[in-house]
Amino acid sequence: MAKEHESTKMIAQNKKAYFDYFIEETFEAGISLSGTEVKSLRGGKGSVKESFIRIENGEAFIYNMHISPYEQGNIYNKDPLRTRKLLLHKAQINKLMGAVAIAGYTIVPLRVYLKGSYVKVAIGIAKGKKLYDKREDIAKKDMRREAEKEFKVRNLT
C-alpha cells in the first residue's frame, strides 16, 4: 500500500538525454547507496550528465553517476564515480535486456529524485537521434520561442 501524498524532490536531471535520444519508455528504479551518499544527494549534490546504464548477469548497474562526497562523512565517504546497482524487478530487467538487444537502443538515466525517503532514478529505453532530428528539435524550440515572444508583445500593448 503506497502513500497517496508522497513528496518528490528533483536532485539531478539529464537534459542532454532528451536532446540526443528519443525516449521510448521509462522506468523507476531504486539505487543501492551508502548513508553518506544519501545525505549528499539530499543536499542536491549529484549529477547524471555523463552516466549510462548497463545490464550484467541479470542485474542493472549505473556507471559514472557522480555523487559529491558528504562534507561531514570523512572515512565513510565512497568513491564519487563508483558503479551503483539499480533495484528493479526481474521482469523489468528482462524488458530492458530485450530492448538493448535491438540495434540502436540503449538505456539512459533521465533524472534522480527523492520519493518520500527513497532515492529513485528514472531510466528510459532510448533510441539515438540523427543529426537532422536534432536540427528539427532546435527549429521547433526556436519557433515556439518566437511565438511566445510575439504573444507577449501583442498582449502588452
pLDDT given for residue 89 in this prediction: 92
pLDDT given for residue 2 in this prediction: 53
The x, y and z cell numbers of residue 72, run together, are 561531514
Domains of the chain: 8-130 (2.40.280.10)
pLDDT per residue, tens digit, the chain (157 aa), is 455 556 788 888 888 888 888 888 889 999 988 788 888 888 888 888 888 888 889 898 999 888 888 777 777 677 778 888 899 999 998 888 888 888 778 889 998 998 888 889 999 888 887 777 778 888 888 888 888 888 877 777 6
Query: CA-to-CA distance for 40 and 12, rounded, in angstroms?
Result: 12
CB 82 within 8 A of CB 73: no
Rg of the chain, C-alpha, whole Å: 19
pLDDT given for residue 140 in this prediction: 85
Burial (CB < 10 A; 0-12, 13-18, 19+), residue 115, is middle
pLDDT given for residue 121 in this prediction: 92
pLDDT given for residue 1 in this prediction: 47
Which residue(s) pair with 22 in the sheet? 127
Kindly give the residue spans of alpha helices, DSSP state H, lying in the chain. Answer: 15-20, 35-42, 90-101, 131-156
Kindly give the residue spans of alpha helices, DSSP state H, lying in 4-130. Answer: 15-20, 35-42, 90-101
The x, y and z cell numbers of residue 121, run together, are 532514478
